[in-house]
Amino acid sequence: MDRERKRSVGNKYIVVLLVTAVLFAACKEEVKQEGVKEDIVAVTEKPKETFEFGFKLNDYIVKRDTIKRGDSFGEILERNNVGYPKIFHIAERAKDTFDIRRLQVGRPYTLLCSKDSLELPQSFIYQPNLEEYVVINFKDSIHAYTSRKPITYVEKTATGIINSSISETLEEKGLSPRLAFKLADEIYAWTIDFRRLQKGDRFKVIYTDKYIDDTIYTGIHNIKAAFFEHNSEPFYAFEFETDSVKGIVDYFNEEAKNLRRAFLKAPVKFSRISSRYNLKRRIAVYGYRVRAHKGTDFAAPIGTPIMATANGTVTKSERRGGNGNYVKIRHNATYETQYLHMKKRKVKVGEFVKQGDVIGWVGMTGNTGGPHVCYRFWVNGRQVDPFKQKLPEAKPISDSLKLEYLNFIQPIKKQLDSIPFDSIDVIDESIEVALEEQNNLISQNTH
């Protein structure tokens, strides 16, 4: 009897376990099914629409790559199943807008392909630089055009107090070193020696950052205004366009005086003078005979950009004899400059260039023993030493523009003056002054 009762209880226990197992398995399956349903819902969600180059990319299979060495327009399309008769027809129709032979190695391109198993290209988009792009569309009819990505300009301000150099001050603040270059080389190059800044000198600047597609930062676009206090003397600078036809922009102070000089000190940056103007120069190669050197040689690596030292019109751009590749510029009725031994010239005769524009690159063409640019300077048709000339200041603002300028800078100056110096800088400075005074008192009491 006891044995049968135990057997019965054991059977009931087994049944309970089986039922529990079945229920547990059913629950797991239900959870699994629910999870599958959630996955299906997530997959069927409508993808976010993406637009670029004026196209809705969701409608295409997008293939991106860069131009490789040896690539051509035809080879790129042929790799993507476009036949040569059609490639030739596309190239012929597009040539008035874009020369397909100008594809540069390393530049990106995009193919918009049909959204099917064939994935045939329907548009070819080439980006010669960050801003511009060329579209060759051959989906229905063939047409080509050039456009630009949307550009955004964001105005910003910065301040600082110099402890050692302006570059270090900007670096500590996480600001672009380009800001230091623009302040030192473009705005205050003729009024402040940035190699001799004093501890405690301070500055404020209003500048504009440039963005492409709101995401790609391309650097500082321009400096709208600046204030620099050097040796307790204030220096204001305001950007102002004096010639809209030629696009000439200069910086003037609060009294409308031009901060620029008529000529740059050198046609290349970060160089050294390897040979000066010397009418009594003797050279060993020529038996130590006197061979006058009527130029100033600036040694620089091959490929270094050569700049026009002043505004002017190109009168010569050619390769000839010992000069090699050279450019000559007439600045006015009095002054001309010449730039010799270029690797390559960038400008043509008749072209107007502005001070600082790149006109070529340092090379070793003509008679030269090393890479440099020979800079020659004419005054009234006679070659002279530019370092011994009393060179004029830049062209002053015209009387007709002066009142316009003073009205233009009035709100900008008010904005600039209202910018406070960083509190951290001010606190640091005051602490240093207090410590210095305390040390002076201790020193006096000691003695």
pLDDT digits (tens, 9 = 90+) for 84-135: 889 999 998 888 888 888 899 999 999 999 999 999 999 999 999 989 999 9
The pLDDT value recorded for residue 5 is 52
pLDDT band (50, 70, 90) for residue 430:
very low
The pLDDT value recorded for residue 260 is 82
**pLDDT of 293-303, one tens digit each?**
788 899 999 99
What is the separation of C-alpha 415 from the centre of its chain, rounded to a whole number of angstroms? 26
Say if 150-261+400-440 and 272-388 have the same CATH topology. no
Q: How is domain 51-148 classified at the CATH fold level?
A: Nuclear Transport Factor 2; Chain: A, (3.10.450)
The pLDDT value recorded for residue 432 is 44
Query: Strand 358-362 and strand 305-307: pairing?
Result: antiparallel
Q: What average pLDDT does range 64-81 have in this prediction?
A: 93
Task: Name the class of domain 150-261+400-440.
Answer: alpha beta
User: What is the distance between the alpha carbons of residues 265 and 272, in angstroms, rounded to a whole number?
Assistant: 12
pTM of the full predicted structure?
A: 0.61
Task: Tell me the helix, strand and coil percentages in the chain, rounded to 5.
Answer: 30, 35, 35
Q: Are 180 and 162 in contact (CB under 8 A)?
A: no
Q: Which CATH architecture best describes the domain 272-388?
A: Distorted Sandwich (2.70)
Q: Is the model's pLDDT at 193 over the cut of 80?
A: no
Go through the chain and tell me how many residues it has: 447
**pLDDT of 257-268, one tens digit each?**
998 888 888 899
User: What is the distance between the alpha carbons of residues 227 and 191, in angstroms, rounded to a whole number?
Assistant: 12
Can you give the residue ranges of every domain in the chain? 51-148, 150-261+400-440, 272-388
The structure tokens 């050097």 sit at 230
CA distances from 291 to 119, 242, 258, 294 (A): 70, 44, 40, 9
Q: Exposed, middle or buried by CB within 10 Å (0-12, 13-18, 19+), for 198?
A: exposed
